[in-house]
Chains A and B, each alone.
Chain A
Amino acid sequence: MGAVFLALGVVILVLARAIELPDRALAVSPRIWPEALGTGIIALSVLQIVLAFLATPKRDDVEPATRVGVLRVAGFVLATLAFGLLWYYIHFLVSGMVFVAALTWIAGGRGIKDLILFPAGITVVLYALFALLLRVPV
């Protein structure tokens, strides 16, 4: 992870140096803040990498990942991206219900109650709350 942050710091520094300077004279350059942040991230990343070499990594707060769990997360992300596209073309009451049913299936739900009644209920509640009560154009 230290290497990822190191790369991020370099990208920020490069982008900061690409900021165009205004014609008028300024007391401080508009690049100063992002440059300082990029430099700070690089310095701390190097420190983190050094510490990672010197110390044994501790993972006391994190449980091991399960294969099915990773697949479920990937399924949720893909389903959400698909819903983003579907939402443009199909009314929320239909696309929303299909989406909720898909998520429930990915999460392990099976049967009529899980895949029809629950999605229908959630979609109607969402529609009533956002579209009817709060006038959000869903």
Chain B
Amino acid sequence: MNALLDGFGALFTPQIALCILAGAAIGMLVGAFPGISATMAVALASAFTLTMDPLPGLAVLLTILVAAQFGDRIPAILINTPGTPASIATTFDGYALARQGKAGIALTASAYASAIGGLVGIAVLMAAAVPLSNLALEFGSPEMFALVVFGLTMMIEVSGGKIVKGLLAGLFGLALGTIGRDPLDGSDRFTFGIPQLVEGIPFIAVIIGLFGITEVFSQMVERGHAQQEAVRSFGRWWPNKAENRSMIKPVAVGSAVGTIVGILPAAGGDIGGIVAWDQARRVSKEPELFGKGSLEGLTAADSSSNAGVGGSVLTTLALGVPGDSVMAVMLGSMIIWGIQPGPSLFSQHPDLVYSISGILIFATLLTLGLSLLRMRGVAKLLELPTRFLWVVIVTFCIVGTYAVNNSVFDVGLMLLFGVVGLLLRRFGIPAGPIVLGLILGPLAERNFRRSMELGGLETIYTSPIAVVLLVAAVLAIAVPRIRSRMKARKRPSPPGTPEPRQPAGVGS
């Protein structure tokens, strides 16, 4: 109890308050502009915070991380462009809601879901950091491979009913993930002598191209057709009672999934959001609305990606293994400050662990308040004529992509994927599985080949955790299909019933 009081007590100083405010302002701005990732902002801010004491420095960095995951929902909902990778799944339903004139509810629900997810993630992990970290330590290559296989089953779910096209897109994404260094021997592969490809295909450039640029190009190509008008109406801002009730289950699912995914090393808010969206769809009474403007889908994804922040922070502290790329940057800063994250941190600096949890809680509450206040100001953005909106989006995407690695090559790649995304959309091939394949591909290959080196397939099928995950993967594919066939046999649908549309952000 003393450590808890000491840890929280250390935060009640004007300096820490100022640092949290500054971090919130920077983070919101960073998140709202596509192309500026939280990793990049935290990396840049690290250079300025290294001269500060550890606690104020951590207050700035952690608040940037939290606030960026609120700010990134705005472009995801309003212009179908994820502000950071963590809001990829936000586009699935957020943009569809905005186009239905429900942008106000979407933004409010997203802010609350993000805050609840964030607080649940922190609370659960404050209580169960040690046992959960022990479980995550059990994950070797076979278990990670099985986990990735489970993740890949979502390709089918995000294909919007176009299974063959979705799988083709997914395999294309997995193939893109093979570009760069071989995961085991480190030799260059499919780089064609281009140095920028040695570290792998730039992920940010690909997602900005596939989502942001493709959306603008698609609107341009189809201009003249009423349905392609930019979002101009916010509608109601506050969900009614029935809508509030409908969000309880998806937020619970999202918070649980996000916390678990956050704990796992190398799995960030982007994966957490997609997994939670898929899981919430499976348990929903209205799965057919997912991808067409479902508040359940939106809140599941957003609560999950924010719940993952608590998980990734505490995995970093407990194991000394970064939960995601942002935490890798933060780990470097902590080591320079003389703090060595790992199991011993809990015995040596228990108060610091609670101080960090306290920073995350304050940052979440402050950013929620800022989100609710600021949302009405975003209405001004939508008053821009469409031609200005196109230009603003494209220029911010270009400069934002350039800023990640200061690379003109990345900008060219983003443009290429913008055109590729447009062609794929015209031919009805969803973009979501490509991103999923690109994220999970390197993890899948590395852990599969490591498992093979360690002892062949036996290492996978003799691991109880891996077997459970693989069985879950099979069930995840089979159960919804068996269930829908059984339902169809009982109650045949009337002729002419339209197939569900693919998710706005997924299939586009």
Question: Nearest chain A CB to B294's CB is how many angstroms away?
Answer: 17
- In the assembled complex, the Cα of A40 lies from the Cα of B155 at a distance in Å of 14
**Residues of A contacting B: mostly:** helix
Report whether A129 and B33 are in contact in the complex, using a CB–CB cutoff of 8 Å: yes
Asked whether B238 is an interface residue with its Cβ less than 8 Å from the other chain, the reply is no
On whether A103 and B395 interact (CB within 8 A), knowing A28-B452, A37-B174, A61-B501, the answer reads yes
Question: Nearest chain B CB to A56's CB is how many angstroms away?
Answer: 13
Report whether A69 and B388 are in contact in the complex, using a CB–CB cutoff of 8 Å: no
| Residue from A15, A69, A136 within 8 A of B402 (CB atoms) | A136
| Residue from A34, A70, A122 within 8 A of B175 (CB atoms) | A34
Q: Which residues of A contact B216 (CB under 8 A)?
A: 76
Contact bitstring B432-455, A, C-beta under 8 A = 1, else 0: 000000000000010011001100
Q: Which residues of A contact B220 (CB under 8 A)?
A: 69, 72-73, 76, 107
- In the assembled complex, the Cα of A60 lies from the Cα of B499 at a distance in Å of 10
Q: Which residues of B contact A63 (CB under 8 A)?
A: 222, 225, 227-228
Asked whether A132 is an interface residue with its Cβ less than 8 Å from the other chain, the reply is no
- In the assembled complex, the Cα of A126 lies from the Cα of B393 at a distance in Å of 12
Asked whether B456 is an interface residue with its Cβ less than 8 Å from the other chain, the reply is yes
Report whether B223 and A12 are in contact in the complex, using a CB–CB cutoff of 8 Å: no
Contact bitstring A1-44, B, C-beta under 8 A = 1, else 0: 10001001000100100011010001110101110011011001
- In the assembled complex, the Cα of A58 lies from the Cα of B498 at a distance in Å of 12
Question: Nearest chain A CB to B486's CB is how many angstroms away?
Answer: 25
Q: Which residues of A contact B391 (CB under 8 A)?
A: 100, 103-104, 107, 109, 118, 122
Q: Which residues of A contact B12 (CB under 8 A)?
A: none
Q: Which residues of B contact A87 (CB under 8 A)?
A: 408
Report whether A47 and B164 are in contact in the complex, using a CB–CB cutoff of 8 Å: yes
Report whether A62 and B428 are in contact in the complex, using a CB–CB cutoff of 8 Å: yes
On whether A126 and B185 interact (CB within 8 A), knowing A40-B171, A76-B220, the answer reads no
- In the assembled complex, the Cα of A33 lies from the Cα of B449 at a distance in Å of 9
Contact bitstring B52-85, A, C-beta under 8 A = 1, else 0: 0000000000000000000000000000000000
Question: Nearest chain B CB to A13's CB is how many angstroms away?
Answer: 10
Q: Which residues of A contact B29 (CB under 8 A)?
A: 129
On whether A1 and B429 interact (CB within 8 A), knowing A20-B187, A99-B395, the answer reads yes
Report whether B419 and A27 are in contact in the complex, using a CB–CB cutoff of 8 Å: no
Question: Please, which residue of chain A has its CB at the minimum distance from the CB of B498?
Answer: A60
Q: Which residues of A contact B165 (CB under 8 A)?
A: 48
On whether A66 and B223 interact (CB within 8 A), knowing A15-B190, A135-B44, the answer reads yes
- In the assembled complex, the Cα of A85 lies from the Cα of B491 at a distance in Å of 62
Asked whether B398 is an interface residue with its Cβ less than 8 Å from the other chain, the reply is yes
Asked whether B337 is an interface residue with its Cβ less than 8 Å from the other chain, the reply is no
Question: Please, which residue of chain B has its CB at the minimum distance from the CB of A33?
Answer: B445
Report whether A104 and B224 are in contact in the complex, using a CB–CB cutoff of 8 Å: no
Report whether B228 and A34 are in contact in the complex, using a CB–CB cutoff of 8 Å: no
Question: Please, which residue of chain A has its CB at the minimum distance from the CB of B398?
Answer: A80
Offer 14 A-B interface pairs, CB within 8 angstroms, sorted by A.
A1-B424, A8-B175, A15-B190, A22-B187, A30-B182, A32-B449, A33-B445, A44-B171, A60-B499, A63-B228, A100-B391, A107-B386, A135-B44, A136-B406
